Each structure stands twice: as C-alpha cells, then as structure tokens.
C-alpha cells in the first residue's frame, strides 16, 4: 500500500519505520523540519515527500502532529485527498479533533477515522522512533459511526502491517474520559509530585516506587499543555476525585484516626485487586 505520514516525530517516525520495513509498502512523508526529512531519507524509511502530487496516491494518511496542527493540515490539504483515501489521526484527544475533522472529510468525500496508538516513549523525535514500538499495543479507533463495520475493518486492514495487538473501538467522548484517567492524570500527578523540595535529595533513598511514580514527570510541556486544555473537563473531573481522596487520607492522619486510615488503605487495595482480577 501507499502510506502518507504527516509529522516524523516519535509517533510518525515509528509508523514510517514499521511500514517501510516491508518493500511492498511505499511511504511518503511531510515534516516542517527539513533536517528531519533529510534524516528520514538517509534512514531509507520514506520514498518521497507527501505533497499535492503524492497525496492522491495514498491509501492511508496518518496525521502524527499535535491536535491543532493536525486539523490545520487536513483543512489545508483536503482538496488533494481522493475519496478512496482513509485519513487517521494519532492525537491524544479525540472529541476536539473528531468534531473538526469529520465535517472536513464529509465535505470533501473521503473517510476520516480518529485514532490513538497506545504506545510511546519518554523522548520525542525521529531519532527515538522504533519500527517495533506498536507491536502488541492497543490502537484506539473512533469512527464517525460506531456501526460502520466496513470503515472499521478497512482501518484495521490498513494498519495491519503495524502489528497492533488490539483495536479498541469507541466514541470520542469515551476515549477522552478514559484517557484523562489512564494517561493525562498520571502525567499531572507525576509532574506535581517531583516539585517537592525533598525530591532533590532522593538519591540513596529511592527504589521502585519512586521510579514508577516519577517516570512521566519528564514530559513535553508544549504538547501536554495543549492536550490537557483540550480535554480539561474530563481531566478536572478526575483531578477533583483524586484531590478528594487525598484529602481523606490527610485528614485521617491529622486526626490520628488509625481505623479510618486503615479502612482507606484497605479500600484502595481492594480497588486494585478488582481492577487486576485478583481474588484475595
């Protein structure tokens, strides 16, 4: 197949490496950074530039940019996209992106499907991309119509060379509410946690717990600011729930209420057991 990739950072670069691994696939790409394009040519992961001439040849176009940039690219290039082409974005929020992109696709006669590959790394950029990054990972797909099995199956087929382990089909609202909890909350909590003055003196006192909780504190502040604000309603709801729970623990300790603290800890342990399917 012929694949167009917009943005050759970690996400787009990993897609390019995975598709180009098979000689049967042709990859065209566009990145605003000329050096990145040169690097991609040198790596032999792209055949040419994705532009007005090559866009019509693509079976699939992947938008691997920040949300607003993905929307802008689709608006500016929609006239070149034929009805046979499917466009899938890779953004971390779906309601905002899909609400903007579904009408663009409908107006120009091609198919747009919201997408979110559930894989990543600490670092960004083409140099950190991996051809195996998505192997076994989940890919979330958000079609305009959840009952449109034809579109869903076509998307799965176009993405089959990437070797995702699972496809999760849902609407945009469910995606954003879930991702607020599973991803965005983790980044907020981790980023806030390391602001303690104590963190500067952790050496020699930290082990797995510290490493697990601080892993995603190192982040791309530009990207996550955009993602947080575009999903603020869901994220604030999760933050309020978390803050309320923390307050309960704090108050139990302030009041020397061992029974209350023990009950709170047991409740959290039980929640974890239920989530993981553990029967004590």
Structural domain spans, the chain: 2-170, 175-276
pLDDT tens digits for range 151-196: 999 999 999 999 999 999 999 999 999 999 999 999 999 999 999 9
User: Largest Cα–Cα distance of the chain, in whole Å?
Assistant: 71
pLDDT tens digits, the chain, 280 residues: what are they? 999 999 999 999 999 999 999 889 999 999 999 999 999 999 999 999 999 999 999 999 999 999 999 999 999 999 999 999 999 999 999 999 999 999 999 999 999 999 999 998 878 899 999 999 999 999 999 999 999 999 999 999 999 999 999 999 999 999 999 999 999 999 999 999 999 999 999 999 989 999 999 999 999 999 999 999 999 999 999 999 999 999 999 999 999 999 999 999 999 999 999 999 887 5
Please report, in angstroms and rounded to a whole number, the separation of the first and last CA atoms in the chain: 50
Residues 60, 88: contact at Cβ < 8 Å?
Answer: yes
- What's the CATH fold of domain 175-276? 6-phosphogluconate dehydrogenase C-terminal fold (1.10.3660)
Residues 95, 174: contact at Cβ < 8 Å?
Answer: no
For strands 48-49 and 26-30, give the pairing. Answer: parallel
DSSP β-bridge partners for residue 239: none
Going by C-alpha positions, the residue among 171, 174, 165, 176 that lies closest to residue 142 is 171
pTM here is: 0.91
Instruction: Give the DSSP letter of residue 113.
Output: E
pLDDT of residue 123: 80
pLDDT tens digits for range 236-266: 999 999 999 999 999 999 999 999 999 999 9
The CATH number for 2-170, chosen from 3.40.50.720, 3.40.1360.10, 3.40.50.970, 3.40.50.300, is 3.40.50.720
| Residues near 79 by beta carbon (within 8 Å), at least 6 away in sequence | 108
């Amino acid at each position: 197949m012929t694949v167009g990739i917009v943005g050759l950072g970690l996400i787009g670069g990993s897609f390019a490496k995975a598709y180009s691994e098979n000689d049967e696939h042709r990859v065209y790409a566009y990145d605003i950074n000329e050096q990145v394009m040169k690097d991609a040519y040198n790596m032999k992961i792209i055949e040419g530039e994705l532009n007005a001439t090559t866009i019509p040849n693509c079976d699939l176009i992947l938008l691997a940019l920040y949300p607003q940039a993905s929307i802008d690219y689709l608006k500016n290039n929609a006239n070149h996209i034929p009805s046979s082409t499917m466009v899938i974005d890779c953004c971390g929020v779906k309601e905002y992106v899909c609400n903007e992109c579904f009408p663009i696709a409908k107006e120009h006669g091609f198919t747009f499907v919201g997408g979110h590959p559930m894989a990543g790394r600490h670092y960004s950029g083409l140099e950190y991309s991996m051809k195996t990054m998505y192997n076994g990972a989940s890919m979330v797909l958000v079609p305009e119509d959840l009952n449109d099995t034809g579109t869903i199956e076509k998307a799965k087929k176009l993405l089959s060379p990437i070797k995702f382990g699972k496809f999760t089909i849902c609407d945009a609202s469910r995606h954003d509410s879930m991702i607020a909890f599973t991803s965005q909350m983790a980044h907020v909590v981790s980023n806030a946690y390391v602001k303690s003055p104590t963190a500067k003196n952790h050496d020699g006192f930290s082990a797995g717990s510290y490493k697990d909780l601080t892993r995603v504190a190192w982040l791309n502040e530009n990207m996550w600011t955009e993602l947080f604000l575009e999903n603020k309603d869901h994220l604030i709801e999760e933050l309020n729930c978390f803050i309320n729970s923390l307050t309960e623990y704090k108050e139990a300790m302030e009041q020397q209420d061992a029974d209350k603290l023990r009950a709170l800890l047991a409740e959290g342990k039980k929640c974890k057991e239920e989530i993981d399917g553990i029967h004590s």
